[in-house]
Structure 1
Amino acid sequence: MHEWDVKLEKMELHLQASMRRTDIDMWIIMSREFNLDPMLQMFGDYGISGWYGHRNAYIFFDPGNNLPLERTLLGTHQSGRMREFFPTIISYGQEGLKPHLADFIKDRNPKKIAINRSRTVSMADGITVEMLAFLEDAIGPVYSSRLISSQDLIFDYISHRTVAELEIETEASHRTWYILRRAFSNEVVTPGKTRLMDIYGFILQEWQNQDLEFNFAPGITIYRKGVKGGIDDTKNPLVEAGDILHVDFGVRLMGLVTDQQHVAYVLHPNETEPPDGLKTLFKKSVIVGDIYAEELKAGKIGVKVKATIEKRSAKQGIKASIYGHTQGNWVHGAGARTVFDWPDRYGDFAREPIRANEFWSIEYSVQGKVPEWDNQMVRIPREEDAVIKSDGSRARFLIGPQ
């Protein structure tokens, strides 16, 4: 199965139903060469979408009743394989896209036309100023008055995962897990000899060896007794016995991504396990992760879930900070986030409800004083891949947790 087969199945199973749930009868994705709309990756993308053309309109129209979804591409420079996604492809010559677009809309008389325009949701904001002006000029003032944001449609559509998507996300999660497990092992790390960027290089080489696609580069940090905060890669420090190693990394497999954070303690020669204070703090992080998974219930609002988890943790004497998010097609996905209600940064994500079957990044940290480190305040960052159960009752870890 290829990536586009997975996306085609998703479209055929869920797109028309998503349009009906969000009361949209037409969705137009306007795009052009070198400035692609991010949602096009869901409808072809790698390998079959051609050059995207000078100006193209990718249109979904629901005629209602029991009729199937119309999928039409008005544009140029398209691979014939795109007919799997858009059975009707209408090209144009010197007359341009405008008359074809105008006639198509007039013939169908849609009541609500979704376009990818959103103040705070980037994957729902692919239309440019000039492409919007072009569209409005082509369809005229009556139909322009029916334009609405595709944001709710995109949230709904992305959340409806297929069996194939779950299998791919699970495989990607397992691969990420074992790359990081090896990176933080004696195979790679020798105290006093290994530098931070040696670990970085091992992780990059591993995802290349496994033919995984790039998601984001590993961020590696050292937490050390007597040092406030973390030590990053600026000076490429040596790993020393007694260090806590932390990494944030994810891969991309067949269009789906992971996002994990792992931690490890570097033993002193006379140690067989970490100091009790660090073990206690790590156990607290495990407790918070379990609470987090329990509270990710379909219908709950992201910002409220954050508050609930932090309150439940505090009752157990744990200082936790919660900042997770949906993931899947993007590392910060199209859906709820358990974050502050900070409009300028998180916009509508913080106020979105959690949905069944969403892929999630359970991301958080705990803090506490460690007696063996002279009561130094130590932070343990955690992040695990998860999915909301199909009944919406809670989240399930795809692997682990650590």
Structure 2
Amino acid sequence: MAKHKLLLSLAIIATCFFSPLASASQDFKGPSPWPEIRKARINQLLPAAMTRAGMDAWLVICRENNNDPLAAHVGCENAGQTAVFLFYRKDSAFHTVAFSPLGEAKALSEQGLLQQVIPVERSGSAIEQAAAFIKPLDLGSIAINTSPTNAQADGLSHTQYQALTQALGPLMSNRLTSATDLVFHWLSVKLPEEVAIMRQAAALTAQWQIEAYQQVIPGVTTDADVARFLKQKMAQAGVSDAWAPDQNPNVNSGADRGHAHPTNKIIQPGDVIQTDFGIRVFDRWVTDIQRFAYVLKPGETQPPEHIANYWTQAKRGREAAFDAMKPGVRGIDVDAAQRAVLASNGSIPVMWSTGHPVGYEAHDTGPNLGGARAVSVRPAATKQLATGMTFAFDGFYSWHLDDGQTKTISVEEMVVINDTGAEYLIPPQQALVLIRAD
């Protein structure tokens, strides 16, 4: 795409071009900080998560090729044969032990991630060895990765469950319970070091979206062209997609398409362009940010009154949701705060939730910021926000286009919850990016 003259308000210049965070040079190609952060998460956050969930122990079974979704979080991402990782509280102390195939045990021990690594002979069974270790401990409740509501906490296969219960026997097997709550409390909270990484990644995500809008030539550039520009920026920086590559980025200058791939629609004067974009850095942390632009018609220097009003109303919804995000508040209450604005400002109903947790996945484990208009409410929407949680959330306004289809502004930002409320990871978009048509 050839570069085209772009009009930016002072607010956009201040927040997207000259932000110290946006201009900071972050080398995401360097060594990953994940090994040390993972160790801190296990030792600092996991015991508290187990206490909140009322669990005495957590058992994770790993294997090659079809591994548990949380394998990399506990250290068994390199499992060849079956491995068992056990985390438990006993005698006022927190213990970590792995029953690892002999071929990986030495390397795992050298990482220093766990207190104890017990090698399992090639002919042996890690599950049987772990069961023999567990029985004398007389643990009250043992969490395992089975969950009807959270795929990240549902990694235990049926055959693994069969082998585990057979090795433990009926009495101990009765103490097995879902790890849903434990995983919720552990994954949903991020360490300050993680938030700092996500903050830098968010700044880069927003900066690239503004640069992409600089390339637009109305009547020539397609939505897919904008997406290709962003893909090139990702490749140059050595980062990957925050979600399905075919749908990231989702660039849409036409009617609502939901979560979708960009098309070859040609961007025209009068279009409101939505770019929903996220990157994954260090192969671990992700971003999810939307930036909006308006293509000026010939003779226009500002958006028409109705578009300007839609943008203002979307920001009002964003501010209502932002103000509602505090420790102890339920996700459904955050959604309700925005929906009260939608009900008063003329917007047509919006089907999407106000927001969602973001961190290791674009739609991560944590409270869902939705449910206020749903017939049935997902369990995560009734969960409370807590310090250290990170969210992506939208300010909504939706209207009917001339052909009857809908168009929705969903200005999306990222925040972290602190002790008193929400804090933006980067300055939010305050004004539409304006693109000349002449």
- TM norm structure 2: 0.81
Task: Return the match for 1:244 from 267, 272, 278.
Answer: 272
Match of 1:107 in 2: 136
Aligned residues: 386
Q: Distance in 2 between matches of 1:343 and 1:104?
A: 47
Match of 2:99 in 1: 74
Deviations 1:78-119 (A, max 9, x none): 264533222322222213224312211113221110011110
Q: Distance in 2 between matches of 1:6 and 1:272?
A: 49
Query: Is the contact between residue 339 and residue 372 of structure 2 (CA under 8 Å) also seen in structure 1?
Result: no
Match of 2:213 in 1: 184
Match of 1:292 in 2: 321
Task: Return the match for 1:337 from 368, 384, 388.
Answer: 368
Query: Is the contact between residue 241 and residue 267 of structure 1 (CA under 8 Å) also seen in structure 2?
Result: yes
Q: Distance in 1 between matches of 2:156 and 2:124?
A: 22
% same residue = 26
Match of 1:34 in 2: 65
Per-residue deviation at 1:125? 0.7
Aligned residue identity for 1:250: G
1:330/1:314 CA distance change after superposition, 3 Å: same
Question: SS of 1:337's equivalent?
Answer: coil
2:428 paired with 1:401: yes
Per-residue deviation at 1:308? 3.1
Per-residue deviation at 1:124? 0.9
Runs (5+) with no aligned partner, structure 2? 1-31, 430-438
Deviations 1:206-260 (A, max 9, x none): 111111132222111112xxxx655976751222222111111111123111111
Task: Return the match for 2:117 from 89, 97, 107.
Answer: 89
Deviates more, 1:351-360 or 1:36-45: 36-45
Match of 1:194 in 2: 221
Match of 1:208 in 2: 235
What are the residue-to-residue correspondences of 1:235-314 with 2, within 5 Å?
Answer: 236-254=264-282, 255-314=284-343
Aligned residue identity for 1:102: A
Question: SS of 1:38's equivalent?
Answer: coil
Question: SS of 1:380's equivalent?
Answer: strand
1:328/1:20 CA distance change after superposition, 3 Å: same
1:221/1:354 CA distance change after superposition, 3 Å: same
Per-residue deviation at 1:204? 0.7
Question: SS of 1:264's equivalent?
Answer: strand
What are the residue-to-residue correspondences of 1:16-165 with 2, within 5 Å?
Answer: 16-44=47-75, 49-50=77-78, 52-65=79-92, 67=93, 69-76=94-101, 77-78=103-104, 80-83=106-109, 84-93=112-121, 94-165=123-194
Per-residue deviation at 1:163? 1.6
Aligned residue identity for 1:214: D
Q: Distance in 2 between matches of 1:344 and 1:54?
A: 45
Q: Distance in 2 between matches of 1:304 and 1:118?
A: 25
- TM norm structure 1: 0.88
Deviates more, 1:379-388 or 1:117-126: 379-388
Q: Distance in 2 between matches of 1:318 and 1:44?
A: 47
Aligned residue identity for 2:104: Q
1:209/1:319 CA distance change after superposition, 3 Å: same
Per-residue deviation at 1:341? 7.3
Per-residue deviation at 1:365? 2.3
Match of 2:28 in 1: none
Q: Distance in 1 between matches of 2:270 and 2:194?
A: 40
Question: SS of 1:265's equivalent?
Answer: strand
Query: Is the contact between residue 4 and residue 43 of structure 1 (CA under 8 Å) also seen in structure 2?
Result: no
Q: Distance in 1 between matches of 2:144 and 2:80?
A: 19
Question: SS of 2:104's equivalent?
Answer: coil
Question: SS of 2:70's equivalent?
Answer: helix
Aligned residue identity for 1:351: T
Q: Distance in 2 between matches of 1:234 and 1:2?
A: 33
Q: Distance in 2 between matches of 1:343 and 1:141?
A: 41
Question: SS of 2:387's equivalent?
Answer: coil
Q: Distance in 1 between matches of 2:261 and 2:191?
A: 39
2:382 paired with 1:355: no
Match of 1:365 in 2: 396
Task: Return the match for 2:358 from 299, 309, 327.
Answer: 327
Question: SS of 1:91's equivalent?
Answer: strand
Per-residue deviation at 1:319? 5.0
Aligned residue identity for 1:266: V
Query: Is the contact between residue 74 and residue 85 of structure 2 (CA under 8 Å) also seen in structure 1?
Result: no
Query: Is the contact between residue 159 and residue 356 of structure 1 (CA under 8 Å) also seen in structure 2?
Result: no
1:342/1:90 CA distance change after superposition, 3 Å: farther
Q: Distance in 2 between matches of 1:306 and 1:230?
A: 22
1:56/1:243 CA distance change after superposition, 3 Å: same
Q: Distance in 1 between matches of 2:57 and 2:221?
A: 57
> What is the alpha-carbon root mean square deviation over aligned residues?
2.6
